[in-house]
Amino acid sequence: MRFMFAAALALAVTVPAAAEDVPDLTGFWNAPVQAFDMPADLEAKLPPDTVVIADSGAAEFPRGVFGGLKLTPQAAARAETWRAEDDMTLTRACLPPSIVYSVQGPFPFEIHQAPGLLVFRYEYYDQVRLIHTDGRGHPPADAPHSKMGHSVGHWEGNELVVDTTHLASSTITNNGLDHSDDIRMIERYRLTPDGKALEASQWFEDDATLENNGARYIRWGRGNDYVRPYECDPSFALEYQGVIAQDAD
């Protein structure tokens, strides 16, 4: 894996993105702390029966709120019995979420772009994502699934369209709603006209957990910083466990 990432980065720095005559998304993109409405033209490209959920950036849904997503009975039952504190253990404290949730999280990321490949390097849990734009397809359905999944991309005008499959089950809204291994996600990335921000629509379907489809709109401002090491330390869970309950609110 380390070799693959190194090879990808080497490719990214040795071949200029301009060779493909497509927008260059390279750069450091600040954490998306502010929420915005999805532009009408991006929303018009969403498939039918899709709800745009408003939990991008700083916003978060409390327990039992899913922003208009319609849960299957099984997913609803799971969310109902979910106990947040069960995740605060040594074995779980450093499990990264999948890109379905973390794409909108309040952490920066950087993009390295080359012909045939983009590398998205996220600060959140030190995750790295490869977006293949060389025309390849997805691997067979039984290929390994991961938190970043397998992504292929193509350009439609000034928009990078990314299709992601092979995602390992993880949270959608960080409050007990989890997607299955069969979720599919489509994102559309583009620069704002002034080039000062990167914006994206994120759409996902998952028949095992959702009776409709979900979408988000995310905007990252262009920054001048570095992705910092996350190096998650699971002993945080022991700190949380080390306090005694008094009176619940």
Dihedrals phi, psi of 104, to nearest 5 degrees: -100, 0
Which among 170, 207, 200, 171 is positioned nearest to 186, based on CA atoms? 200
Residue 54 interacts with another protein (CB under 8 A)?
no
Q: Is 36 in the site for another protein (CB under 8 A)?
A: no
Pairing of strands 213-223, 150-156: unpaired
Range in contact with another protein (rule: CB under 8 A) among 8-16, 37-45, 196-204, 227-235: 227-235
128: tokens are 């790295």
Residue list 176-205, contact with another protein (CB under 8 A):
176, 178-179
Residue 232 in contact with another protein, rule: CB under 8 A: yes
How many Å apart are CA 191 and CA 149, to the nearest integer?
24
- Binding flag, residue 235, another protein (CB under 8 A): yes
Confirm or reject binding of residue 224 to another protein (CB under 8 A): no
Contacting residue, 56, 165, 171, 213, with another protein by CB under 8 A: 171
Task: Sketch the per residue contact string, 149 through 168, with another protein: x for CB under 8 A, - otherwise.
Answer: -------------------x
What does the chain come to in residues? 249
Structure-derived torsion over alpha carbons of residues 78, 145, 200, 132, reported in degrees to the nearest 10: -170
β partners of residue 223? 28
Q: Could you tell me the CA-to-CA distances from 215 to 122, 186, 194, 201, 246 in Å, in that order? A: 20, 9, 25, 7, 39
Q: Does 41 bind another protein (CB under 8 A)?
A: no
CB of 34 to another protein, least distance (A): 7
The torsion defined by the Cα of 209, 215, 221 and 223, in degrees rounded to 10, comes to 30
What's the CA dihedral at 162, 98, 201, 75 to 10 degrees? 120
* Residue 121 β-bridge partners: 110, 128
Q: Using the minimum distance from each CB to another protein, give the nearer residue, 45 or 78.
A: 78
Q: How far is the CB of 46 from another protein (least distance, A)?
A: 25
Residue 91 binding another protein, by CB under 8 A: yes
DSSP 71: B
**Residue 220 sits in the site that holds another protein (CB under 8 A):** no
Pick 92 or 136: Cβ nearer another protein: 92
**Which chain residues interact with another protein by CB under 8 A?**
31, 33-34, 57-58, 60-63, 78, 82-97, 105-107, 123-125, 168-171, 174-176, 178-179, 225, 228-233, 235-237, 239-249
